[in-house]
Amino acid sequence: MGDAYVLFICTDNSALSRMAEALFNSMAPCEIHSISGGSYPSESVDEKAQKVMEEHHLTIEGTPTRATQEMILGALRIIAMGRVFVCPNTGMERWDIPFRRGVPIEHYREVRDELAERVTALIRDVCLDEMPD
């Protein structure tokens, strides 16, 4: 993979991790980018997650991917969300964001907005030298 990246992991890589990846890549002013994966990827992206990201002119299209050992070992930072198991002493961070499928789209908007706040703080940390005041 070569370049420095942040890895967002969730269970199925169809909503939370994909939204965080898109937000990070759209906001980060530094050379660090993000990728995402799931422990048990679904067959498609969550339609409501895709819709709320499109409201911010971001896309999360494509087939969800499995988080591989190579992705994990190469990551600068690893953010786990959902029901992904976080191993102690691995440097993984857990973001506990309440998320359920089958809820009104407003819940997805709230999740997107919370992810945006957390991603902004993460970017300030990993891109410290390049963030505007």
Sign of CA pseudo-dihedral 26, 27, 30, 36? negative
pTM of the model: 0.90
At residue 8, φ and ψ (nearest 5 deg) are: -105, 125
Angle, vertex CA 53, rays to CA 77 and CA 76, nearest 5: 10
Positive or negative CA dihedral for 88, 93, 97, 102? negative
21-79: pLDDT as tens digits = 999 999 998 889 999 999 889 999 999 999 999 999 999 988 888 988 899 889 999 99
The structural architecture, per CATH, of the domain 5-127 is 3-Layer(aba) Sandwich (3.40)
Tens digits of per-residue pLDDT, 74-121? 999 999 998 776 666 567 889 999 888 788 999 999 999 999 999 999
Domain range summary for the chain, segments of one domain joined by +: 5-127
